[in-house]
Each structure stands twice: as structure tokens, then as C-alpha cells.
Chains A and B, each alone.
Chain A
Amino acid sequence: MSRRLTAIALGLLLALAMGLLSWVWARPATVVRVLMPAPFADATADLVATFNRAHRDVRIAVTRGPFETDAVSDLAISSLLLGDSPYDLLLMDVTWTAKYAAAGWLEPLDPWLGPEALEPLVTGARAGNRIDGRLYRLPLVADMGLLYWRTDLMAAPPRTPDELVAIARALQQQGKVRWGYVWQGRQYEGLSCVFVELISGFGGQWGPGEAGVGLASPAAARAAGWLQQLVNEGISPRAVANFAEPEALQSFEAGEAAFMRNWPYAWQELQRPGSAVAGRVGITTMVAEPGAAPAATQGSWGFSLLSGSPHPETAVTVLRALTGEASQRRLVSRYGYTPTLQHLFDDPELVAERPQLPQLRQALDQAVLRPLNPGYAQLSDILQRQLSALISGRGEAATAMARAGRESDLLLRASGQEVGR
């Protein structure tokens, strides 16, 4: 009886002590709010938990945004337009940086990270973070366009557009594949990504400073014409005009196509059980004309500090932690993301786990940035409209590209920017 009473009394005391202790522990911590697209929120969940356990005075609160890139942007912009942003950090696509910076929504990171912040990064991840000499973004993972090819159908991947067409046509004629090449032809950002690689591969360049932002050029016309030819000659399905990444992946995964243009994430999807091409896929950079540089459209996601954050310094601490080596290692080994830290590509442990890392690095060295301009979304939209028309069988490449160039110049001029000659 008395023993039981003692036990109860002891239990009560213990509870009291723990209550006091937790009160002491629960001293208000600085909360750093981060908005990420859903896949990244999921992939970083344990990193965030680890960080929160290790830091008593800082807590990371992640908002799991939507899946789609555009939907995340919509969510971020909607909250930013309301004035005080509910977030301190935002995980951004590379194409948003210029726009957000011009809108005054981003805080330069230089005061905290210093001028050498980008030094440890692989070349292909450095561009697109600095605008007018100020650092606005620190990349977390790299992303670049890749050419996927079937190792069981050919000994080596094609290097030029003509080779690609020749191999594809031969395989189609032999009945080995239904389609030669699948890519992203839907009227959306993915189409611009496809084109950036090709204009470069045909010896041109898309960007302000060129006449008609580089679109009113023979290279642009030939690149666009090549895409149109792919559809017209049946190398690519007509349906490619509504293909986004998932549709291209679906077709390639089913073993229907000899080549696919996609991002690194597709690699893991293709190795899954149920994939018709598991273990029979190689990756390389996009084809280019002899003498022209093969190119990979640079994607990449990185953290930006939002102006108006009540505690920028703490937020930068979190930014550093999330983009740090330990974090990147985990994202690479566990989720198959591509790191941005240069030395991780040579890390024997990681390379053993992810044998495609050297190829990814190679592609990253060829990375080409989409125009770094506050009006990029409009420039891209102008391009997509013309390309989409060509792919869906309307118009002629040179005329369409010339028109896109004119419209782009008009836009830049209207916005007070200089137009190249």
C-alpha cells in the first residue's frame, strides 16, 4: 500500500520536473519559414528534423508547396504581392531569379556569404545566381537537360542532329522502336528548355544582346526547323506537341522510343521495376552540329532570402545548412539529385552509389543558361508560341523565328532595355 503511494508520489514529482524542464527548453526559438515544392519538402524532411533537434534557438518550418513548378511560383508570388511575405526562404527555379530580384522581393546574400560563395560550386551551377553583381540565390541541386539513349539498340549515342535522325529512322524501320525521339513539345517552359540546347547545338545563342534576342538568326531557324522536321518525318510523334516531361518519360519507359530528352530525375524512374528499359539506358549531352558546342539547359533549384524577413541572419544560417555538404550528400545518395558542390562529383563513395555522376558533371560543364532577364517569362512565352505552332504543323521555321525575334525586341524596347543589333 505505502509502496504504491510512494511510487505515485515519485511519478508526480518526475512529471513536474519534466514539465519544468520542457518549459525551460521551450524558450521561444526563432522560426525560419521556408517554402519548397513538394518533392523537395519531402526530400529534406529528415534534414530539417535533424537541424531542429540540433538547434535549440532556431526552428525551420517548411511549407510543402505544390508539385508543379508554376504552381509553386504562383503561390510564392501571391503571398509576396500581399506585402509581408510569410516566408523567409524560398526554394526557386533558376529562371525566377531575375524576375524576383527586379520585383524587389529578394535580399542580396553577399553581406553574409561574401564574394566567394559560389567558388566551391561546379561551373554549370554558378550561373544564374548573380544579377547586376549581386548574389541572390544559392543553388541546392543542379539540373540540366540530358539526352537519354538506349544502350541495347546502339553502341554509342549520336553526336549530331543528323546522326540522331539516321539512327532513329533505322531503328524505326527495323521495327525496334515505334518512335525515334521523344521530348517536350507542349507549349510550356519545357519547350524553351529543349530549344536552348538546340540553338546552341546549331551554333547560335538565345539571349538579349543579340539581334532579335538571337532568334532572328540562321541557327535559330535551323534548330526550329529540325524540331519541325522530327515531327513531319515521324521521328517524333505528332502528339509530342502536347508532351511534357511525364508523357515523354512514359513513352520512353515503355520502350517505344530510341531517344528521349529529359532531366536527371528520369534516370531513377527508368530503373524502376516495371520499366521496359531498366538497365538499358545511357545518358549524354544533347546533339550538336560539328563545330558547335553541345549544350545542356541549366535547371537547378536554389534558396533565396526574401526581403522583409524579420531575421535575415538566422535565415542565412538555415540556408547555409540546407545547401551544405551534408545536406547535398544526403540528397544525392538517398534521392538521386545532382549536387552543386564540385568535389562531390569526384567523391568515390557517392560515385559508387551514383555511377552516372561523372556523366552528369560532363553535361553540367556544357550547361547553358536561359536568358537572365526580368522579362524572361515573356521572352520564353513568345518563343513557345512560335515553336508550338511549328511543331503542330503551322508555319515555316525561319519566318516564325524572325517573328519571335521581332516580338522579343519589341518587348525589351518597351521595357526600356537595350536591344542588340
Chain B
Amino acid sequence: MTKTASLRLEGLCRRIGERAILDGINLEVAAGECLALLGPSGCGKSTVLRVIAGLDPCDEGRILLDGRDITHRPPARRRVAMVFQSYALYPHLSVERNLTLGMELRGVPPEQREQELAAVLELLQLGGLRRRRPAQLSGGQRQRVALARALLRKPQLMLLDEPMSNLDAQLREELRPQLRAILSGGRAPAIHVTHDQQEAMGIADRIAVLHDGRLQQCGTPRELYHHPANLFVAGFIGRPQINLLPQDDGTVVGIRPEHLVAVDSGGVPVRVRSREWHGASQQLLLESAQGPLRWTCDGNQEIGEELRLGWEPRHEHRFREASGERLGSPGRHA
């Protein structure tokens, strides 16, 4: 399946002084696709958005939107919309004015403005709030207004910078499908920055993992989970975290907690130290000669119990310890 890449980043670099904030980022996002940029804080993911938007300068590389090089265009002329982490709503304007100001600046005729406003208010269920000021809105409502404003821009690219981080956990979960529906409804590619892998998995078609300004891996959530390209991705994706067992030959074996099984003989001898009960499953923290291990199972082990654990070879991930790079390729899960 070949899609025309709608957004393409080629060797994007951004430096502050000697420090490389972004170091040769290559990415493609197809039209209508939603890509999540995932990484720990400080990894440069927000900078990618800001460079794409033109808010931060690009020191090297190119940004191509629908084949056009927009690397050095001013932000106003990129047709890119962004939902800010703070939402950046104009505090002195009503919801309605917040939404129409941009159209006014862009010279949209009044009747059309009114139409589009009505449509977006309807879409995001903001009709009853149109006369309110941002200070009179809840966090979720503000997020919807920010989203509405971004949609009204009719962008060729939608950028979302941690749009959920200011909301409480429950609201986040409720909004995720909504956001996904809205984003996949558009034709423009979307990039969604988050540090929350669940959010990334819930919303994005593909996830790009960023660490220290470098792209670690880009793929579907499934690929990242079952086929992490390196130790960082393996450790970053998946909760509870993957078990990493250093070997004598300078490699590291990674086993997902749910892939461990109790065995009668062989395997790794462990002792149960603590457990968290999750209803359908339980997570055990185990002690072993190679350090602590995490095991997700549905058994009934008690604290202090000793047992042996093993795994099927097809579930084993192997990495070079020094470089973190993946070795070999066990059977792929499609």
C-alpha cells in the first residue's frame, strides 16, 4: 500500500549553541494519517513540532509539505495548525471571537465565517459556550475550543502538542476516541506529541519514538511493541516494562512480562517479592539472580513463594548491550 507522503522531514537538525536538540530527523506522515511523537520529556519531541510550525528555526534539513519545501516560510504562510499544550486561547476574547479571529485575519468573508463557526461549534459541541471567556471554561472545554480553532485554520497539517496533559486521567480516556475520530476525519496528516504511550497508542496510526534528539523507531504500535528496534524502545514501550536480562556474551535478552511462564525445571529461579492485583491479571515483582523481574500472569502466587520461569524462544528479543541495537529477528507478529 503506497500513499503519497503528505509531510516529509529530511534530516531535520536544530542546535542551540553546541547542543543538538534535534539530530537528523527523517519522517514521513501520509495524508489523513495520525502520527504520535513519543518520548520522555526533553527528548526534543516538542521541538520537532515547533520547527515544523516555523516557531523555531531549522538549522539543517528540509520540511516538505505536499512536496513543497516550507522549511524557511514564516509560520503564518505554512497552513499548519497547532493545538498548544496550554491551548493558548486568547483570554480577552469570547469562545466565538477566539474562533473567528483567525478567519478574520485571513480575510474570510463574514457569512462564510459564520457558517464555519456554526459547523465547528456543532462538531465539538461548543454551541452553548460561544459567549464565554476561556477563564470560564473547564479544561476539557478549553481543549475543544483549541481544537476547533485549529480545525478552522483548514490546515494542511495538524500539530498537537500534549493536548491531554492538562486533563485528568478519566477525561483523557474519554476524549481519546473523540480526538481520534476528529483527526482521522480530516485529510491532513496530524502529528501528536505526547509522553504518554497509552495516549499515543490510542490515537495514532503510527508512533515515532524519539530519544535524545534522534528518531529511535517509527512504526505501528504493534510493531514497536513486538519488534522494538533497540533497547530504548523496548524499555520505553510496554507497561509493565520489559524484563531485560544481561547475558555473558555482551547481549541482553528482553522478555515481555506477559511472555514469562512457570516451568518445572530449567529457566530462571525466582522468588515473589510483591504483587499488584489488576483484576483480570496480576503483576508480580520477582527477585532473581539477574535482578528484579516483572511477570504478568493470572495465577495465584503468594509473596515469598519460590518458582522457576521460562519463555518460548519466539518471544525473546535480543539486543547488543553496548549499542542497544537489535540482534536477529525472531518470528514477526503481524
Q: Do chains A and B touch in the complex (CB under 8 A)?
A: no
Give the B-binding residues of A (Cβ under 8 A).
none
Give the A-binding residues of B (Cβ under 8 A).
none
